[in-house]
Copies of this chain bind each other. A is one copy, B any other.
Amino acid sequence: MKYIIGVMGPGEQATDLDRQIAYQLGTLIAQQGWLLLTGGRNVGVMDAASRGAKQANGLTIGILPTPDAVDVSDAIDIVIPTGMGNARNVINILASHVIVACGMGSGTASEVALALKTGKPVVLLNASPTSQAFFQSLSGDVRVAQNVEAAIEQAQTLLGAVIHSS
């Protein structure tokens, strides 16, 4: 079984910094030998992280909201159309061993909240103090990373705990 790291973040609303960080994150995830899972669309954090992973020869999975493979990032190797709209956010979370949220928007917020609800380890990256305060008020288990390298280190630790407990 392969280890899957989910990178969640804004699509059309992603900032330049969100995308830049997501690209680095994708590269480092691939270099660890982990699979990268995203929401699969050809915009924002999903697209940037997948491109970063591909340039490091990683394997990428995209869980699409649409029933067909439309508007999919061309850096996705394994395209999983669901036809379930935002209900695919649940699958993004359940299929990832560790989740890194890069930036914040309403879709990303639903995914972080679902991670907390289902007990999945989640790391916040490039999140505002307001976002951090909110999710930490929901759960003591929310991690915050100050940069991409720290996020990867935290993912390693969290993955170790996942492997250990299974």
Chain A residues close to B by CB (< 8 Å): 1-2, 4, 35, 61, 63, 67-69, 72, 74, 76-87, 89-91, 94-95, 104-107, 109-110, 113-114, 116-118, 128, 130-131, 133-134, 137-139, 166
Contact = CB atoms under 8 A, between A and B. Distances in A.
Contact of A84 (B63, B87, B117): B87
Q: How many copies does the complex hold?
A: 4
23 contacts: A1-B69, A1-B74, A1-B78, A2-B77, A2-B78, A4-B78, A61-B78, A67-B94, A67-B118, A68-B94, A80-B80, A81-B91, A81-B94, A82-B94, A82-B95, A83-B85, A84-B87, A86-B90, A86-B114, A109-B138, A110-B113, A110-B117, A128-B137
